[in-house]
A and B are shown apart, each in its own frame.
Chain A
Amino acid sequence: MNLVDVLEQSGLTGRGGAAFSTATKVRAAHEHGAGLLVNACDGEIGAVKDAFVVEHHLPELVRGATLVAGTRVRYAAHRGSATEARLRAAGLDVLAAPARYVSSEETSLISLAQGGLARPMTKRQPFVRGGSDSAGRRITPTVVLNAETVWRIAQVVERPDGAQWFRGHGLPDEPGPRLVAIGGAVPRPGVVETAAGVPLAALLGAAGADPGRTGPVIVGGLGGTVLRPDEAARVTWSRAGLAPLGGAPGPGVVHVLDAQACPVDALAAWFDHAAGESAGQCGPCMFGLPAIASDWHDLADGVRAGGSGSVSSRGARARLARRAESVRGRGACRFPDGVAGLASSALRALSDHLDDHARGQCVPGRTPRSSHEHALAH
């Protein structure tokens, strides 16, 4: 049986966040003679699973990549990372990407690999067919697969009845084992091998946290979803389980906020970070993300900003919600969509806390400064 058929049977989808059918991508890669870029950048906040795959499963990763594209394979890793060093030590062809969020986006890596800047490109057509960037530079056919995805390809192909073995994990519509990185305010941050359908509480527990008694939990990183502690304690980690709350398993990261610190302040640091990570190419993202961050700071400042309590807070919330909607789908990459989702979910999940801020009850200065750094610790 050929590779695409086995992958089709397994139901493997991309582990980098988009959850697109791997069989479909590999089929297109073969049709167009595309080269493979293995994305081992761990670009998401708190992501460490690509590093985990490279550290513990490198031979399988390399075999998986060879199955897809023969010798036309390059491995992308953040410049200066341990992952980069490991890949180089193994004699692999490494593409060193700047350690910026959107640099690890797939079209950024394709651009970088072809001599351009590590910035997303507009996909006028999928780059697996080749094409050109906005400046008219020619792009040769390239497919990008996340490191965990490539490792899973090798597992599916090499195990006896690999597709069945794979389907023995997870849910019928989200099959297979998956890696999740759990970090933030937990006693034992790290990578857990799990599958869709597990209670999020079990993942929190695996990291030593006490579900229900944590701070709010961010599932899916900078483009993810904020959950209240009680929601995090009862929700199922799957597409179906997280969808009612606006979330998805995404790139497999879970970040727990410190229950002792102000979550509104913590989120302010995330939105600032997001605004700084916009690659500054697309107007709606370049202006929209700083506007979202500044709206959030207004909410955090509450009474200090001179607003008249809850009334002005309501206005500021409506403006933020409107701006979040307005940037959706209007960047070359999905980054603004993700941040918009984070903002909408933060408005919802932290609504009570925002009320406190509007009344001036949660004084931001009371929050230890270190919690900000904590929120962004990779």
Chain B
Amino acid sequence: MSTRSRTDRPTLRVDRVACTGHGVCATLLPGSIRLDEWGYPVVLTAAEDGVDDGDEARAAAVRWCPALALYADRSS
């Protein structure tokens, strides 16, 4: 699942084991993360109408995820 848009940023990913479904990420990244019917995040691709929320918002979401589950994957 890639969230890479025009820019060359690392992909945002969710550590599914760590994620507790708090949904903080979806609040901070309303354009690129939505919650599923059980409250767990779906990282939207451009094809899924994901909109870039900007570097600052991404960094904030990674920092404020209470489970430290959101991370930027630099390997892809």
Partner of B19 from A124, A283, A288 at Cβ < 8 Å: A283
B47 in the interface, Cβ–Cβ < 8 Å?
no
Cβ–Cβ contact B71 & A283, under 8 A: no
With beta carbons under 8 angstroms apart, the residue of B21, B73, B75 that contacts A283 is B21
Which of chain A's residues 323-345 have a Cβ closer than 8 Å to chain B?
326, 329-332
Pick from A122, A287, A331, A332: contact of B38, CB under 8 Å: A287
Q: CA of A285 to CA of B1 in the docked complex: distance in angstroms?
A: 16
- Encoded as 1 (CB less than 8 Å from any A CB) or 0, chain B from 1 to 29 comes to 10000000000001111111100000000
Provide the A278-296 mask, 1 if CB < 8 A to any CB of B, else 0.
0001111101100000000
Residue of A nearest to B15 (CB): A122
Residues of B within 8 A of A121 (CB): 17
* Measured CA separation A282–B19 after assembly (Å): 7
In this complex, the member of B20, B36, B73, B75 whose beta carbon has the largest number of chain A beta carbons within 10 angstroms is B36
What is the interface of chain B mostly: helix, strand, loop, or mixed? loop
Q: Does A284 contact B17, Cβ atoms closer than 8 Å?
A: no
Contact of A125 among B14, B21, B37, B75 (CB under 8 A): B75
Check A124/B15 contact, CB under 8 A, given A283-B21, A329-B1.
Answer: yes
Tell me the smallest distance from the CB of A194 to a CB of chain B, in Å: 35
Contacts of B40 in A (CB 8 A): 282-284, 287, 330
Which listed residue, B18, B36, B69, B75, touches A284 by the CB 8 Å rule? B36
- Determine if B57 is an interface residue (Cβ-Cβ < 8 Å): no
Encoded as 1 (CB less than 8 Å from any B CB) or 0, chain A from 119 to 144 comes to 11110110000000110000000000
Check B39–A134 contact: CB distance below 8 A.
no
Quick one: given A122-B18, A134-B17, are A284 and B71 in contact (CB under 8 Å)?
A: no
When the two chains form their complex, are residues A283 and B18 in contact, meaning their CB atoms are under 8 A apart? no
Q: Does B42 have its Cβ within 8 Å of any Cβ on chain A?
A: yes
User: Using a Cβ–Cβ cut-off of 8 Å, how many residues does chain B contribute to the interface with A?
Assistant: 19
A281 to B20, CA, bound (A): 9
Return chain A residues, CB-CB under 8 Å to B1: 329-330
Docked-complex contact A283 and B39, CB < 8 angstroms? yes
Give the contacting residue for A326; candidates B36, B39, B69; CB below 8 A: B36
> Do A332 and B16 contact each other (CB < 8 Å), given the known contacts A124-B73, A125-B75, A326-B42?
yes
- Please measure, in the bound complex, the distance between the C-alpha atom of A331 and the C-alpha atom of B40, giving whole angstroms: 11
A288 to B21, alpha carbons, bound, how many Å? 14
Asked if residues B42 and A331 are in contact (CB atoms below 8 Å), the reply is: no
Q: Which residues of A contact B16 (CB under 8 A)?
A: 122, 281-285, 330-332
Option from A119, A124, A133, A330 in Cβ contact (under 8 Å) with B42: A330
A18-69 interface with B by 8 A CB criterion:
none
* Contact of B38 with A134 in the complex, beta carbons under 8 Å: no
Within 8 A of A (CB), among B35-65: 36-40, 42
Task: Give the distance in Å from the alpha carbon of A285 to the alpha carbon of B20 in the complex.
Answer: 13
Determine the distance from Cα of A120 to Cα of B18 in the docked complex, in whole angstroms.
Answer: 12
| Nearest Cβ on chain A to B14's Cβ, whole angstroms | 8
B residues near A287, Cβ cutoff 8 Å: 37-38, 40
**Residues 264 to 305 of chain A near chain B (Cβ within 8 Å):** 281-285, 287-288
Query: Nearest chain-B residue to A288 (Cβ)?
Result: B38
Docked pose: A283 CA to B71 CA in angstroms: 17
Q: Which of A133, A282, A285, A326 has the most CB of B within 10 A?
A: A282
Min CB gap A362→B, angstroms: 29
Complex Cα–Cα for A47 and B18 (A): 31
Give chain A nearest CB distance to B4 CB in angstroms.
Answer: 15
* Chain A neighbourhood of B14, CB < 8 A: 330
Q: Which of A69-109 contact B (CB under 8 A)?
A: none
Residues of chain B within 8 A of A330, CB atoms compared = 1, 14, 16, 36, 40, 42
16 residue pairs of the A-B complex, CB under 8 angstroms, read A122-B15, A124-B15, A124-B73, A125-B75, A134-B17, A134-B69, A282-B40, A283-B19, A283-B20, A284-B16, A284-B36, A284-B38, A287-B38, A330-B14, A330-B36, A330-B40
List residues of chain B with CB under 8 Å of any chain A CB: 1, 14-21, 36-40, 42, 69, 71, 73, 75
